[in-house]
A and B are shown apart, each in its own frame.
Chain A
Amino acid sequence: MIEVKNLYKSFGDKEVLKGINTVFEDGKTNLIIGQSGSGKTVLMKNLVGLFEPTSGQVLYDGRDFVQMSKKEKVMMRREMGMIFQSAALFDSLSVLENVMFPLDMFSSMNLREREKRAMYCLDRVNLSGAEKKYPGEISGGMQKRVAIARAIALNPKYLFCDEPNSGLDPKTSLVIDDLLHSITQEFHMTTIINTHDMNSVMGIGENIVFIYEGHKEWQGVSSEIMNSTNKRLTDFIFASDLLKEMRQAVTGNSKN
């Protein structure tokens, strides 16, 4: 479980995060949603330590990540996996070498065991057969799946995904969503996904945090969104006419 307590982050005079308080639960697919520029990515970067918060706490199962020493943070990061928006695969390494990288760095397995584990992870994301290819030779969706395989190679307790569906077609996005959801449940990880994708929100959102202009505006599950009276949330989720009509059809509510 990850608890965020009173988290503030400023860049110069600009306050981007304004006292975020929330909890991301174990074994659940936690989503952070919000408009562009609302502070989602900054929040995620504060969670993983790529940014230092101005004030506040980030507690990983009770351990305050902000107060940890550099060495403790390095150890803590070995319990994390992250999937970047751009996949961030190492260009000079093959798909198999990318997945093996964290194992090569931190595991005490021998080469055969490392290869076996990497192949298992690739198989888990349905990429068996692509191990010899290089990132430049595979599609965006495949790159994201390789990034997922690399992120789970060391069996992390916490998985972070920064807009995993960006740049993907709707069908591939669903594949990625299903994969992340099933992996979360299988490995009982705390998964946090930063997304704009409404399919993800309605499909896999077990705990949704809506960020609006740097503060937490709303938190709940996907089924609660339909009947939510929070105008900022409904304006964001049901921005298109099609979605508005769908909501109206489901709830019979035409007010929002």
Chain B
Amino acid sequence: MLIYRWLTIFGRYIMLMGRTFSMPERLRMFWKQYVKEMAQLGINSIGIVLLISFFIGAVICIQMKVNIESPWMPRWVAGYTTREIMLLEFSSSIMCLILAGKVGSNIASEIGTMRVTQQIDALEIMGVNSACYLILPKILGLLTIMPFLVIFSSAMGIVGAYGTAYIGHIMPPDDLTVGLQHDFVPWFMWMSIIKSQFFAFIISSVASFSGYTVEGGSVDVGKASTDAVVTSSVLILFSDVFLTQLLS
């Protein structure tokens, strides 16, 4: 029965995506929504992304320095590992998990509230494809802005690492610089961006589905919001395993 239920939900998700990825009725209205969503979902998330990335970069650097330091290890290893962790996992996967909480709940509660207050019915009565009008700009907006968030996150993590070197005097900044520059593989940056695109799609589409299919009242909107965050987080973690294997 559980499998039947999951298959039913997956089928409804696919059907909703089918309605979402259709030609917008008015491109002018679509662009307006697209720009608005980029600002709401992406630009408004820059602050939290930069803040978290700064501190995580700093903490990773301190942990590496404290725990890996050994006479057998080169002095730049803390900088090297900080860069690799930020680039390969934090700036894409962990940051997207954080965004699943912030952006996912935002999308699910916004669309869910529109559903229970009959705003989506009003769109349908007007002859508007509500899925395309509401969901497509969110998905494309987040996909567009995500690479920038990944780059900002990586850069801020490294700034955080320098913070520990210059302010906390954990290690000499020169050692950190050597580590950060050691054996740099540009593909890792691309890998991070590609992974984040998949995660952005998961966050925006799963949250939209949760909100769009709400039935009931405010309690159900809250539940949909929680479900959106949990489901997209789990899917991000699952897909991270496959994507990392595929892209490495």
A and B form one complex = yes
* B125 proximity list for chain A (CB < 8 A): 48, 50, 77, 80-82, 160
The answer for the CA separation of A50 and B130 in the assembled complex, in Å, is 13
Q: Please provide the chain B residues from 3 to 35 with a CB less than 8 Å away from any CB of chain A in the complex.
A: 25-26, 28-29
The answer for the CA separation of A223 and B96 in the assembled complex, in Å, is 65
Give chain A's interface residues, CB within 8 Å of chain B: 48-50, 74-78, 80-82, 84-86, 88-91, 101-102, 104-106, 160
The answer for the CA separation of A88 and B125 in the assembled complex, in Å, is 11
A90 and B26 in contact, given A75-B127, A77-B124 (Cβ under 8 angstroms): no
Q: How far is the CB of A48 from chain B (nearest CB, A)?
A: 6
The answer, yes or no, to whether B63 is at the interface (CB within 8 Å) is no
The answer, yes or no, to whether B218 is at the interface (CB within 8 Å) is no
The answer, yes or no, to whether B244 is at the interface (CB within 8 Å) is no
B118-144: CB near A (< 8 Å → 1, else 0) gives 110110111111000000000000000
The answer for the CA separation of A102 and B129 in the assembled complex, in Å, is 13
The 10 closest A-B pairs by CB, nearest first: A77-B127, A88-B118, A88-B122, A82-B125, A74-B127, A78-B127, A84-B118, A88-B119, A102-B126, A105-B26
* A102 proximity list for chain B (CB < 8 A): 126
* B127 proximity list for chain A (CB < 8 A): 74-78, 106
The answer, yes or no, to whether B181 is at the interface (CB within 8 Å) is no
Q: Please provide the chain B residues from 191 to 229 with a CB less than 8 Å away from any CB of chain A in the complex.
A: none
The answer, yes or no, to whether B44 is at the interface (CB within 8 Å) is no
A86 and B117 in contact, given A48-B125, A74-B127, A105-B128 (Cβ under 8 angstroms): yes
Partner of B28, one of A77, A90, A104: A104
- SS class of chain A's interface: helix, strand, loop or mixed? mixed
Contact yes or no, A84 B121, CB < 8 A: yes
What are 15 A-B contacts with C-beta separation under 8 Å? A50-B124, A74-B127, A77-B125, A78-B127, A82-B125, A88-B117, A88-B119, A89-B119, A101-B126, A104-B29, A105-B26, A105-B29, A105-B128, A106-B25, A106-B127
The answer for the CA separation of A153 and B125 in the assembled complex, in Å, is 14
The answer for the CA separation of A48 and B125 in the assembled complex, in Å, is 7
Contact yes or no, A105 B118, CB < 8 A: no
Q: How far is the CB of A251 from chain B (nearest CB, A)?
A: 40
Give chain B's interface residues, CB within 8 Å of chain A: 25-26, 28-29, 113-114, 117-119, 121-122, 124-129
The answer for the CA separation of A49 and B114 in the assembled complex, in Å, is 19
The answer for the CA separation of A49 and B121 in the assembled complex, in Å, is 10
Q: How far is the CB of B36 from chain A (nearest CB, A)?
A: 8
Could you say which of B29, B113, B117, B127 has the most chain A C-beta atoms within 10 Å of its C-beta?
B127
* A101 proximity list for chain B (CB < 8 A): 126
The answer for the CA separation of A50 and B25 in the assembled complex, in Å, is 20
The answer for the CA separation of A120 and B163 in the assembled complex, in Å, is 60
Chain A residue at minimal CB-CB distance from B133: A105
* A91 proximity list for chain B (CB < 8 A): 113, 117, 119
Q: How far is the CB of B130 from chain A (nearest CB, A)?
A: 11
Q: How far is the CB of A189 from chain B (nearest CB, A)?
A: 15
* A77 proximity list for chain B (CB < 8 A): 124-127
The answer for the CA separation of A84 and B124 in the assembled complex, in Å, is 12
Given contacts A77-B125, A90-B119, 13 further A-B contacts (CB under 8 A): A50-B121, A75-B127, A77-B124, A77-B126, A77-B127, A81-B125, A86-B118, A88-B117, A88-B119, A90-B122, A105-B128, A106-B25, A106-B26
Q: How far is the CB of B25 from chain A (nearest CB, A)?
A: 6
The answer for the CA separation of A45 and B21 in the assembled complex, in Å, is 26
* A75 proximity list for chain B (CB < 8 A): 127
Q: How far is the CB of A127 from chain B (nearest CB, A)?
A: 18
The answer for the CA separation of A12 and B213 in the assembled complex, in Å, is 19
* B128 proximity list for chain A (CB < 8 A): 105
Chain B residue at minimal CB-CB distance from A107: B26
* B122 proximity list for chain A (CB < 8 A): 82, 84, 88, 90
* B124 proximity list for chain A (CB < 8 A): 49-50, 77
Q: How far is the CB of B109 from chain A (nearest CB, A)?
A: 12
The answer for the CA separation of A11 and B114 in the assembled complex, in Å, is 24
